[in-house]
């Protein structure tokens, strides 16, 4: 039974990642889910914050909203981790923060969370996601993992300059503000993920041990392609 469930979840993942490249197909299919509808980019979206999974998506979104409480959750496109979100944002003229993390860390964290995703599929998806979006470089501001965790305010400044917006900056040096964000994130983990270590959105020794146990061949062609697109984004910032 467990093997069947793993197989089924993997097939759902594959369908999702195929449709991710085609907005009309992705949004037609996934708007059937009430949860997905809350995260999707629409005409009412004021900002999109997206990236490959496990790339500080949660912290960036919660920190941004902490400083911009007037923006409703349904006015932020986030946490779908698909190209379609950025493509639709470009078409609608919506400002975008695109998050990126080194593939070794991002993929390890993803396969620990979702064991039905093999490493080779995760690496291929990482490369496809960022390769598809690189030609749209002028449609978003890039924030690597360190900036998404430690300089959300600075990223917002870049966003405002690029898109002519006036979003408030998160006070990255304010420990109370950070604590408030992590409090909300921990609440999300308890409510949505039952507090599971594999699903935590913050550093944890137990989670790190699980990630270290994930074997990724860093000499493989798949990994080298993923790392190459990561470096291309760092140069494009």
Predicted confidence (pLDDT) per residue in 7-34, tens digit: 888 888 888 899 999 999 999 999 998 8
Bridge partners of 141? 97
* pLDDT value at residue 200: 63
* pLDDT value at residue 202: 66
- Residue of 123 and 186 predicted with greater confidence: 123
- Distance from C-alpha of 145 to C-alpha of 142, rounded to nearest angstrom: 10
Mean predicted confidence (pLDDT) in 206-225: 85
- Please state which CATH number belongs to domain 2-236: 3.40.50
Domain ranges within the chain, ordered by starting residue: 2-236
Q: What percent of the chain has pLDDT over 90?
A: 73
Bridge partners of 50? 98
Mean predicted confidence (pLDDT) in 1-9: 81
* pLDDT value at residue 209: 77
E strand segments, 4-108: 47-51, 76-78, 96-100
Angle, to 10 degrees, between the axis of helix 119-133 and the axis of helix 83-92? 10
Mean predicted confidence (pLDDT) in 102-113: 93
Q: Please, what is the average pLDDT of the chain?
A: 92
- Residue of 2 and 27 predicted with greater confidence: 27
Mean predicted confidence (pLDDT) in 81-110: 97
């Amino acid at each position: 039974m467990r093997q069947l469930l793993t197989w089924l979840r993997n097939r759902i993942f594959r369908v999702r990642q195929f449709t991710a490249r085609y907005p009309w197909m992705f949004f037609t299919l996934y708007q059937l889910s009430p949860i997905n509808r809350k995260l999707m980019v629409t005409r009412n979206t004021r900002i999109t914050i997206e990236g490959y999974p496990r790339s500080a998506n949660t912290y960036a979104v919660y920190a941004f909203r902490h400083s911009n409480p007037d923006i409703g959750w349904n006015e932020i496109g986030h946490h779908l981790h698909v190209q379609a979100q950025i493509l639709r944002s470009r078409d609608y003229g919506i400002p975008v923060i695109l998050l990126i993390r080194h593939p070794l860390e991002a993929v390890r964290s993803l396969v620990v969370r979702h064991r039905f995703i093999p490493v080779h599929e995760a690496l291929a998806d990482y490369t496809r996601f960022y390769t598809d979006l690189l030609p749209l470089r002028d449609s978003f501001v890039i924030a690597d993992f360190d900036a998404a965790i430690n300089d959300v305010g600075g990223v917002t400044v870049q966003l405002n300059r690029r898109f002519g917006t006036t979003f408030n900056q998160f006070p990255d040096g304010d420990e109370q503000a950070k604590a408030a964000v992590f409090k909300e994130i921990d609440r999300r983990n308890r409510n949505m993920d039952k507090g599971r270590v594999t699903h935590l959105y913050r550093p944890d020794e137990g989670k790190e041990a699980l990630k270290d146990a994930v074997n990724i061949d860093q000499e493989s062609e798949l990994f080298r392609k993923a790392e190459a697109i990561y470096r291309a984004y760092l140069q494009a910032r």
